[in-house]
Structure 1
Amino acid sequence: MSSHDFHVELAEHDFSWAAMDTPVGPIAVTSNGQSIIRVEWPEPDEATDDRTDQSDTGIHQGTGASDPLIAEALRQLRAYFDGALTTFDLPLDLGPVSATARTVLTALDETVEAGTTITYGELARRSGTGIHARGIGSIMGMNPLPLVIACHRVVASDGLGGYSGGRRGTALGTKRWLLEFEDALPPALF
């Protein structure tokens, strides 16, 4: 399913970032020049403060105006929110996550497609790590690349479960919106 190239080490690089407006709020992308290392929802002052230059396209240039990885990541995010892209194809660096977390996030990325969901327990089994469902939830909360590695597709067996994406105070609403957008909200949650 995925052609992501996961890097294990963070090399010494200059970091650059940019943010863009989306239906679920501004999303910031950070690059180390070789890989995308972070996708996050910045707080309003972080996305639009004096260090940014917002164009009429809704993109806040940040420090990533000349980084081709940032440009490609923003292009793919725009295509995702336009409904034209379901799988991201970017070089990714998960940074200092544990080997177990890396295994779980890779299993999620490679086996759970847009328009589908998986329970925390099923992802635990599928990853082969021996981690319990609650531990899978913790790993999802530490995912440095939400949306690109789609942790919003992981749900509880009896409901939506948690989510750490979105702006402060909007996490579960963001998860619900993303699942509805992908036509993947489990029927029991309507």
Structure 2
Amino acid sequence: MIGPMLFRRADLDAIFAGKVTTAFRRWKRPTVKVGGTLRTALGLVAIDAIEVIAPEALTDADAAAANYPSLAALRAMFDSQEGTCYRITLHPGGPDPRNALQQNDALSAGDLEAITAKLARLDAQVERPWTAAVLALIEAYPGVVSTDLAARLGQDRAAFKERVRKLKALGLTLSLDVGYRLSPRGVAVLKRR
């Protein structure tokens, strides 16, 4: 999986409803690759094709396929970005595998050992271990905005959010509209560590 390729919520809804099969971006170099998938709030988006396209070659059908209200709106998007113009053909790629992982709290001794080893590797990459502190903080303050959580640990918000994303990749946390909470798997790990 690769990224970042961000979608507006309306575009994601249309992609997962099967109404949108194309996206357009202007990049210095593509941030997705053919055959890859992209994690989104609604699940995985699969990348079928990427091709360079000249903005003047775009059509009304291109705009409609990418959920733009008009060809002028699609061209205006290109005007606001820098780099080469690309057409990305895509389709829904299924549920995010982290969803099932997050719900799996029936951890064997081997599962717990593997997760503990991954957390130890994350801790070893920095001067001070952080994984246990972040998990405990999220458990104590579910639904609290990341700015407040980061301040409680004396961390920069962006760095804190990156750390939480690493825990989410292991299936240990869930993102809420505001803040986070431990997943069932995260609760099990924290209790058994």
TM-score, with normalisation over the residues of structure 1? 0.29
Greater radius of gyration (CA):
2
Between Structure 1 and Structure 2, the one with more strand by share is 2
